Structures are given as C-alpha cells and as structure tokens.
Amino acid sequence: MGQNVDIEDFKNHHVLYGDIGASPAPFVLGYPFGQNTEKLVYKNNYKPILGLGYAFRWFSLRVALPILPGLRKEKYFGQSEQYSLGFDYSFRSFYTDVDLRFVKGYALKDGASFNTLGTSNSPHLILPGVGTLNMSLNLWYFRDNAFKMNALQGKRAHFEKEVHTWYLKNTVNVFGVANEHGSLIPESLQDPTRNITRSSQLTALDFGCLPGYAYANRINNWQFSGWAGIGPVIQAKFFTSTSGTNGFLGLAPRYDVRFVGGYSSTQHFLLLSATFDNKSIRFNPLEYKQYFYTLRLIGGIRIPAKKVPLKPPNRPNSAKSPLI
C-alpha cells in the first residue's frame, strides 16, 4: 500500500504532549411541575484536568489527573467525583472508541426553595447521592480512505490539503442517572398522579446508526477539522420508583459533533479540541437529558526517531588457493 498523499504521518516520531481541559456533565429533567417550573437543571462541580501523553508508531498512552478543586464554589454546589476511561483504535476507513464516564455529586440549580426539610446557605439544593453513568461503544466508517482519525486529532498526523467525506456511526450506549438517597425530584414538586415523578433511577440501553459528514483542511500550518451527524436510535428505557421498575421501548434522537483546530507544523502543535455528546430518555411527559461537554487545549512536540545504521554483514576472508 502506498502512503496517503493527503496526510503527513508522524508514526515514526516520538510525540510528547500535554493537555488541560474540563468536562462538565449537566443534566435536565423536564416536566410541567407547576409553580412556573418547566425544567430542573442539575450541575456537577467539575474540575480542570491535566493530561500527559506519549505516542510512537502503534503505541499511545495518556495519563490524566485533576489539578485543582472544583471550579464552582463548594458551599453552593458541593463536591463532585468524576472518573473516565477510554480506548480508541483506527484501521483504514474505520475508527472505533470505547468510552466510560461516571460522575457523582450534583446540585439542583435554584433548588433550595423546593427543600421543605430544612434551610441551607446555598441557593442550590446539594445532592451528594446523585450520580450519572455513560458507557458507549462506537464505530465510524468514513467513505473516503484519505480521512484518518490520527490526522483529525492532529497529534500523530495532520492533513496536507482539504479532505471531506460522509460517514456512518454505529453506536451502542448504556446510560442513566440515580439518587442513592431517594427520589431525583424534590418531594414538593412530585405529581401525586404520576409515579414516575417519584423515580430514584432512570436508565436506558440504545443502539443505532447515524449518518454524518466530516471535513478537514490545513492552510499555512493552520488546521481545522471535525464532523457532525444526526439520527435516531432504538431505545429500551426504564425507571425505578417506590412501586418497582417499569420498562418501555421507543426511539430517541442523537447527534454527533466533534471539532479540532489549531496550529500544526512538523516539529510542534497547539490544538483546541471540543466534543459534544447528548443522551436523552423520554417518558411522556417526563424527559431526561444528559449532556457531556469536553473542551481541551493540547500542545506538544514531535521528535524524529534516530535511524540506526545498518551494519554490513560479516563476510569471511576468502583465501586464494595455491597454484599446484
């Protein structure tokens, strides 16, 4: 196979990089609660994350740790624990990734007024027992072989010219929200005629195929690339309340958005990466929407690997045969 002329590949370079970013993970519960309230917004006290990475040929490793306390005031939003684990692999026109995210510790925005059990110094209702989980397995197929994920991400390769193509994303997801200390909705807002408003857990399993479009270009060492897609998924959804667990089958919308842009030369790069992921479960008229935003600034260098000179093979000295 020949080398892709649309991409400059640095697989034979030592790629060293660092990144700093954050991943807010708010969710919304929509319902005609009354009291001029149509939705409840829950926010986590997310922390900035510092990552260090290294890549060479087929090997890639990144380690990330929180470096500061939560960016929101603890007395207003409480504390949040946030864990993530991911794996990705690219082969020819296919790219796959596995993503696991868990967040525990939320605050209901402006929710203190709904709390009838006591008083608080915060305008928000702090809920340390509320947690969200998202597990996803995704496989993208890009129609144009010139569109490679390593080049879109910009660390181990970059594009040499404009490339665009349509794609298909196959996705399987398990996600949801739960409160280990009671219901998700404050008691004062619960509807006595709707058992779902007393739910302590909402979960779903869904799968589907999303069409989309990908684009990349690089002009004078400035690269911008990304993709966007939208489509439906088949969803099995469940809610757990005081009366037990109930399940339903239906459809749900999904969108798929990712963007990477910045400066990339042969020796170094500085990139801004943004990923948007949404999940939703609808139990008419209650709707749960989970949002994951990841914003990351990435900088690094590429060091060519030293070429080891080939030694000529040792040949035995040939002795001349004596004349007889």
How many angstroms separate the Cα of 122 from the Cα of each of 75, 85, 149?
7, 32, 45
Dump pLDDT digits (tens) for 110-136: 998 887 655 567 899 999 999 999 999
Q: Are 252 and 262 in contact (CB under 8 A)?
A: no
* HEC string for 235-289: EEEEEEECCEEEEEEEEEEEEEEEEEEEEECCCEEEEEEEEEEEEEEEECCEEEE
Q: If you average pLDDT over every residue of the chain, what do you get?
A: 88
What is the reported pLDDT for 61?
Answer: 82
Distance CA 79, CA 7 (A): 44
Distance CA 147, CA 165 (A): 7
- In the chain, the amino acid numbered 272 is L
Distance CA 269, CA 266 (A): 8
Cβ burial of 177 (10 Å; 0-12, 13-18, 19+) is: buried
Distance CA 195, CA 245 (A): 11
**For 120, which DSSP code?**
-
Q: Are 213 and 228 in contact (CB under 8 A)?
A: yes
More confident residue, 260 or 1: 260
**Secondary structure (3-state) at 23:** coil
Give the HSE-up count for residue 160: Cα atoms under 13 Å, Cβ half-sphere. 10
Dump pLDDT digits (tens) for 280-309: 999 989 999 999 889 999 999 999 988 756
- Of 50, 132, 58, the closest CA to residue 88 belongs to 58
Dump pLDDT digits (tens) for 5-63: 688 999 899 999 999 999 899 999 999 988 788 999 999 999 998 989 998 887 888 88
How many angstroms separate the Cα of 206 from the Cα of each of 178, 199, 232, 285?
18, 20, 10, 20
Dump pLDDT digits (tens) for 167-177: 999 999 999 99
Ordered by where they begin, the domains of the chain are 7-304 (2.40.128)
What token pair was written down for 88? 């990705």
Cβ burial of 287 (10 Å; 0-12, 13-18, 19+) is: middle
